[in-house]
């Protein structure tokens, strides 16, 4: 098995929920943290073995969050990425997944990350209210 080294990391600062990051999506925050790692280690345009990213509470629109982060942080577009989710331990689980792939010789390098944000939480509605909203989308007029 290959030796695994965690070379460094980056994070966005802790702030009160619903404040500084209120207008930022989970994807934007995760991309900012990943881009800081890419910049710090001169990985712009480089193909990595893999990226593992995820969060505690994902929006349905974040179904491919890891890939979107990979495309937005500056690594080569052929760098693969996969999503992962584990309550209160997503970033650790992502780091373990990347470390395991390196240890087994499947990849040489990767980036792992996770988020737990209360500023961009997915709000779900009851099935009944969701059907009402969908019906409004099919309405010819509102009056």
pLDDT digits (tens, 9 = 90+) for 92-137: 999 999 999 999 999 999 999 998 877 777 778 888 988 888 888 7
Distances (CA, A) of 75 to 91, 121, 134: 19, 27, 38
Q: Return the pLDDT at 143.
A: 61
Q: Return the pLDDT at 48.
A: 98
- Flag whether the pTM goes above 0.75: yes
* CATH superfamily assigned to domain 26-138: Thiolase/Chalcone synthase (3.40.47.10)
Q: Return the pLDDT at 78.
A: 98
Burial call 44-61: b when 16+ CB within 10 Å, e when fewer: eeeebebbbbbbbebeee
- Taking the C-alpha atoms of residue 48 and residue 27, their distance in angstroms, rounded to an integer, is 20
- On the question of pLDDT at 85 being above 80, the answer is yes
Short-list 95, 69, 94, 98, CA closest to 84: 94
The residue ranges of every structural domain in the chain are: 26-138
- On the question of pLDDT at 18 being above 90, the answer is no
């Amino acid at each position: 098995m290959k030796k695994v080294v965690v070379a460094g990391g980056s994070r966005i600062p802790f702030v009160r929920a619903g404040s500084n990051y209120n207008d930022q999506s989970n994807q934007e925050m995760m991309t900012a943290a990943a881009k800081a790692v890419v910049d710090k280690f001169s990985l712009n345009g480089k193909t990595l073995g893999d990226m593992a990213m995820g969060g505690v509470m994902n929006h349905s629109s974040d179904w491919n969050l890891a890939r979107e982060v990979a495309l937005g942080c500056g690594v080569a577009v052929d760098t693969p990425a996969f999503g992962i989710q584990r309550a209160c331990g997503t970033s650790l689980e992502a780091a373990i997944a990347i470390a395991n792939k390196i240890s087994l010789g499947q990849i040489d390098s990767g980036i792992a990350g996770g988020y737990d944000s209360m500023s961009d939480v997915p709000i779900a509605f009851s099935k009944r209210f969701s059907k009402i909203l969908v019906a409004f989308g099919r309405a010819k007029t509102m009056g």
